[in-house]
Structure 1
């Protein structure tokens, strides 16, 4: 089944559409997640570096502060006063004291004490003459005279940038010199404490900041001089280094050596030093390779899962379409059996084509279906059992408080079908807003009669109800006469108004009775069933209108109406307790009405079989059952006779069509008018009795005639189409192709080729 689905372009379109719906947001989401992951990771690394750099700054500041505290203690230490230091007896204690102070900080490479204008300088190792000291500690960028001057003139703690120091042992080391005047914060210091700090002591702290990343790390003093320069795999020009001096604290993007770098700057509030690290931005991407790999793997998995989901969703969406296509194809099997080609386009096009065809058929049949629906209401009532959807389709409402039926004798039997259709159109749905009433027209089987079902709202007594019924009927009569004054109305019969629409069949029987027994022969006269004599000749006899209603219900074959009438009569006999003789006479009156009606209908067998039981019955219950059985048999016989008459009538109509189907004026209305029945009755009964609806039957006859003409003659197609009664050649050609799969010209050519092949085959056999 799946393989068959993949043969469908529509199914593939569904799959691609679902994949696009999945992939477009997925790709955008993946790009967003990837960029966000890279940005987040980069931000995390930069923030981590900023935190570590801040931590290194705190540690370095702490160590420098320790050096200042050591210098302060030295300035107040009695062992290290100028007098004690120069005294040969106490000088050893001074050197020992300096060594003790040196050991208190791990970053001190050497601790030196110098008193202004002194020829000697003291260290933790011993006493040096200044000339000897200059030879033991040789600074690459700090001449001896400048060194002597700085030691004598420094007023504030000063850190010298890292310089190469060569000791007498020819060992060179990169060291920083930190000069602190003593006494600290004194405007007239008397000496200087000088610390020699290996640069590696500070760079070891900075190395922990970069970790595995390559980059540059600097410590700059408050004047912008590079104190510490730590480089891992990258060099920097002096101009580039100076560009980092004025950076604000924080994280920055800067191009260094033509490459983008991430620069983190932290400034110390204690000494004004600036700590800077610069890392190439390209390194971050190497850190996110595993993130990218994971995202790509996740993307592939989601695509595969999405493809499976897309396949399932496409199949779920395509399956009902496939079923509809199969249904549409099953309706055109005849086309394929006759060699017809499949309809062009995809499945939706074929479904659309089928729906359009069915829609056109429904549009043609809807008036007849609506009329049939209303006819069933008149015959059986029972509106409450109908579905709201069905009422909505036909635009019908029976939710008002009162309902009754009107039967109109149109007097149009000798007129034209167009006049009757105009009257039907007028009465199809008629409204009287001022009376809160709406009416629905019904074509009765008799050509000269129409029915109207009225519903209206009124919450008053019975007398007011009749007045409102009369107002509605008069308004209806006036409107019809005003518009259709050329169509006389021979009479109007009005049934009783009921509270429930389920009793419409009762009102219809009463309207038919009123129409048949109308008291005036004046055209357009109105007869109300309620105003027919409802008084019996004697107090206990059955009212005349009840007997008329019973007779009419038997004529209509409506046992549902006849049954409650008979039951009501016997219920009254049981409650009034009249004499046995009067009871027998009343039963004879009822029996006489039923037998007379049966005789008029030509139903003699039922009367002969049931009459004795009705005459000689003993109890009222037995008589009631007998009368109900008689009514049932009469109604059943009427139904059978009606079916036989309809079957005979439809056969006559079919024969009539067979003789005249080439007449282009042949139509449902003209045929109905010819046979004296309503078009809706012909439409409904023709389909039931013949098996095809009226239009299809005529079309099939014409199609068969055209096919025969194509096979046996060489006449032009237009002449053939006109000959069979079809005047629209393009439309006929389109329907012919839909029915057979070929145009008439293609069909004629195909048949000619097949006929030649058959004849050639017969010659070869001979």
Structure 2
């Protein structure tokens, strides 16, 4: 055979070696453009960070100004008419102390004072002074005149940042804010320009170029870095909210990038000489040439050597193939085709054998389980060997049996044609078995089989508490019955045995489950019947006060399902021993209807509400002749009462539900969204609001908010190119790790996998 694979690999490796060579050449020609774009984007990103930092500082100053404006001491001082009284002087001292605390709380300001326009006096953090002295103290060193200062502070301001002279920057707010058009005073906050300039100077852009801040009229406020030719910049091109452009400067070409602040209409501008990234291009070119040299003079010999080394295992595998296969080498194109043909035939044979063995093993194990349940198996070491061969491993020596009798399931195949009855029954067995095994398997080991047209589950109980285990089996049976009957329309009656302490007790458990299941003829189909209920003797009517109280509470709150479950539990408990007479059964039903009528008396209703329904109920009860008929009438009337209560509740809760859920959906991006904030917003007790959201949406507050945030995140990942970090913030998560964990919990995959469509 020719060494076709070796030559193919050699050509492939050499071709792959050429790819980085071509790519490096393309990169060399595109690097300057790409680096220029990256520098621009980097400049804009840094400017946005600077803008956000300063905007946050200015927001803090505005917030401080607003708090100070609403301070009772300030309001009281502004409204004084006579500033010479001792009381006013005491108020002035308190105001000075308050101003001093405000000034000390913010490191971005140097000082602040409040100027009274009519009296022409000012109160600062240290004293109250006349206008001329106040001007000399705070602005005497600036280029501003006294007249210019008085003209400025006598204007009306709505929280504005203004430049005084050539060096001072102040924040101005007219007081009181409740009557801005007739303001009596002006709050003046002096910004710490030295700190502002130092913050700008520390930016990387200022170290390689220039960074400046200009106001809405394109007047320079402050600058850092190279500032000798700032007048050459064409400020007329700074028209949009952000952008960049190239311009010729005296020192060469520069890149001008800018962003606008929404807080004060300022613009943050960065000027970077083109030579900064041109130097990077030259360094990149040197590295590219070095990479080309390594690719050609090192990669070439390495490709030949690695090809030979990787080919040797293939050669050895071909030599190991049987002589029969080797005799056909002349008709094989290459070594891979030969190996693929050999491995495909063997894999197909192995899969077929495994499927046959697995099917036979499942059938044999099912028959063994059926015989084990009926007590028709050998005992001792023979039984242990049989269980080991069928992979039946029991962690404990406690066992219980659940026996499922399958009733009507015609609605499952409604509209699908006649079909094969046997196939349909097997499909029903498959549904019942898989759902129930999954539910029981959460806490216990379980094995299933078909016995006499029923589905039997052998449960190996885990743990030492048998009382808890019995209750868990009943709860699992309820859950399985709810899912199978609710979603697949398969009627089930379930018998549950007691727990037995050894393998030899399994047949007894099966007999108990079968006996419990047979009792469905007394209490009706679609029931869950534990054996301990039917073996408990009954000498009197079982109707405890606690159960009656729970039933009344369920009716009063309109909880039909819970009320119906309580009624059903009472009926099953009273008929579980099979000795309850029809008369005693009717007595039980009249006790139940008496409880319902007792619950109705608590309603705030008119004299005619539910009167007709009560009359019809009494009439129907006197005509019933069986437990099932009486029980059916009880449920009908119970539904009417609970619907009545529910309608009363819905009229009250509908508006609150719409408001709460709408507010949540509109504030998903708010990281502070919580049950406490909602309760404050709608003035509702937090525990009640939690249960209300659970009742109205079917989910807890956390689950509802997280699912809505995941839904919004999926839409953003589908409709936008935002990064995961950006989306994390837009949907209200504090960090991407939390977002990824919550997303995977509800979707089963990570956000990255969702975006890739995996």
TM-score normalised according to structure 1 size: 0.34
Higher RCO (CA-CA < 8 Å; seq separation 6+) = 1
Structure number, greater radius of gyration: 1
